[in-house]
Amino acid sequence: MNRLLPLLAVLAPLAASAQQDSGGYNRALAAFNAGDLDTAAPLFFQASEAGGDAQTQGKAEYFLAQSLAKKGLPVAAFISYAAIVNAGPSHPSYLKAVEGLVDMQQQLDEQNLIPSILNQAYSDEVRDQWVTLPKEVLARINYLVGTVSQRRMRFEEARALLEAVPKDSRVYAKARYLLGVVLADPRFPGRPGEGEALDKEALSAFTVALSSKEPQVELKATQHLALIGLGRLHYRRGEYAEATAAYERVPRYTRYWDQALFENGFARFQNEDFGGALGSLQALHAPQFAGAFQPESWILKSTVYYYSCLYDEVKTTLAAFDDLYGPMAKQLEPFTAEDADLIQAYNLVAAENRRLPRPVYLWLRNNERIREVMRVLARVDQEKRELSSGPWRGTPLATQTVASLEEIRGTLLQVGGTLARSRIREAADNLRTFSDQAEIIRVQTALDEKDLLQAGLDQKTLLTRQSLYRPKMPGAAWNYWKFQGEFWIDEIGYYQYTLKRGCPAKTADAQQP
């Protein structure tokens, strides 16, 4: 009997501690069920930190996350759910935490951290367990992990995940759109041998997204993106008229309209509709788009004029490009170094603009992922203020949660800085590339003018002999108005040029092969 006394002396405090932990958890659960979150959350936190019974501790961690979510602290809740998910399937609340994490992603519309966490957790080991999740939760997981796979160019994996999203899911339209993007990507395995079949499937995916009905997440924006995706698919296939039809279905003044105008200019140019191409660019260069970063649009405009041998207009357009974008290239030089600080790069975008060219600044801030970082960071700061001044002020729960929020804040700043630095370099590279193209066009124009002069051809006389006619009317419901230098809001997007042609007619001998 005496040999048992030391053992009993150790077990007795442990048993007492376990009863104490269980009692705290039960009081927390009673308060939670009664809607008293201010009382429940600190008790759940205490039970989760006590290190007693693993089942009780695991449940306390889950209900703490639930309490934070119900309290209107979705970032703090996402951190708690993520900790459980990262602990692995042995955690007693693992699947519930996965579901909670997906709910917080939806609430926050967070596209950077949570999809990456789900992607890392979605392994072969847990796949059989995850299929038991509610149908909509699993659909959202497949979509979110599919976005990660697409960004990392794991196209076949992305395809399988996106095709697994069922028709009755609220992210079905988004999944179909992204599936179309994946299948249409020239880097998708199997091209060019399977290119025709892949294009057909991509076309079908875009069409399904366009025909989807509410309720869907961000349906209108998704359908506008699907129209651009459809236009790009037709353009790559050389189906320029079909590409133009898709681009022109993007509604005027919606978020992606300027991109549709720009790409439609290329489609019309390739379809030898030079007047239509200039019409799209005329809309894009209206005062309403004065802050747009579209350097390539000026190169396209000069190219259209070049193909029509309108060399004065070529030079005028290139001069406008130089005036507008030449200074921007110099302004960007200090921010493109390989070792540029990520936090400083993010602050260039997030803070009120004082150093970047305004079109570049707006282009950076319009990036969807950068905007999401900014939005979630604002939410993090709000939750930190609420925890520091609310009913949990000064408690261990508030102290640790604020510390966790600060860690997430640091991670988001790194993500935002990486995105911002990459986009700044992209802007600088674009300016460099298009400046080089402008110089090539400028030199070729000078050479062609020299050829005309040496051939004794008077281009001005050639142009004077030509007449300008009204553009062809699309239908009986359309009216013709001559553009007189004023941009009226109800006319932007409906411009059509008619052009003279300054190229000398080819002789019959010159036309022989």
Q: What is the pLDDT of residues 126-155, one digit of tens each?
A: 999 999 999 999 999 999 999 999 999 999
- Average pLDDT of the segment spanning 288-296: 89
Q: Where are the beta strands (DSSP E) in 313-439?
A: none
Give per-residue pLDDT as tens, 25-35: 999 999 999 99
Q: Quick one: angle between helices 342-350 and 396-454, nearest 10?
A: 80
| Predicted structure pTM score | 0.89
Percent of the chain scoring above 90 in pLDDT:
79
Inform me whether the pLDDT recorded for 509 exceeds 70. Answer: no
Angle at alpha carbon of residue 184, lines to 178 and 185, rounded to 5°: 90
Whether omega before 192 lies within 30 degrees of 0, making that bond cis, reads: yes
Inform me whether the pLDDT recorded for 3 exceeds 60. Answer: no
- The C-alpha atoms of residue 315 and residue 498 are separated, in whole angstroms, by 19
Residue 149 DSSP code: H
Angle at alpha carbon of residue 175, lines to 170 and 176, rounded to 5°: 110
- The C-alpha atoms of residue 10 and residue 349 are separated, in whole angstroms, by 59
- In 3D space, the residue among 284, 181, 159, 174 whose CA is nearest the CA of residue 230 turns out to be 181
Residue 23 pLDDT grade (very low, low, confident, very high; cuts 50, 70, 90): low
76: its two tokens:
């703090």
Distances in Å between the Cα of 296 and the Cα atoms of 88, 121, 382, 392, 496 are: 49, 41, 40, 54, 20
Q: Is 398 exposed, middle or buried (0-12, 13-18, 19+ CB in 10 A)?
A: buried
Residue with tokens 């060219």: 357
- In 3D space, the residue among 136, 179, 186, 137 whose CA is nearest the CA of residue 158 turns out to be 179
Least confident of 11-15, 200-204, 298-302, 307-311: 11-15
Inform me whether the pLDDT recorded for 510 exceeds 50. Answer: no
Residue length of the chain: 513
Q: Is 239 helix (H, G, I), strand (E, B) or coil?
A: coil
Give per-residue pLDDT as tens, 149-187: 999 999 999 999 999 999 999 999 999 999 999 999 999
Inform me whether the pLDDT recorded for 60 exceeds 80. Answer: yes
238: its two tokens:
């050389």
Mean pLDDT of the chain: 91
Q: What is the pLDDT of residue 96?
A: 97
- Average pLDDT of the segment spanning 328-345: 90
269: its two tokens:
């140019």
Give per-residue pLDDT as tens, 360-377: 999 999 999 999 999 999
- Compute the CA torsion angle 365, 366, 370, 371 (nearest 10 deg): 90
- H/E stretch holding 189: none
Please list, in sequence order, all residues whose beta carbon lies within 8 angstroms of the beta carbon of residue 403, skipping any fewer than 6 positions away.
none
- The C-alpha atoms of residue 347 and residue 370 are separated, in whole angstroms, by 11
Inform me whether the pLDDT recorded for 8 exceeds 80. Answer: no
> HSE (CB half, 13 Å, CA atoms) of 93?
24
Residue 18 pLDDT grade (very low, low, confident, very high; cuts 50, 70, 90): very low
Distances in Å between the Cα of 381 and the Cα atoms of 2, 109, 125, 385 are: 60, 17, 36, 6
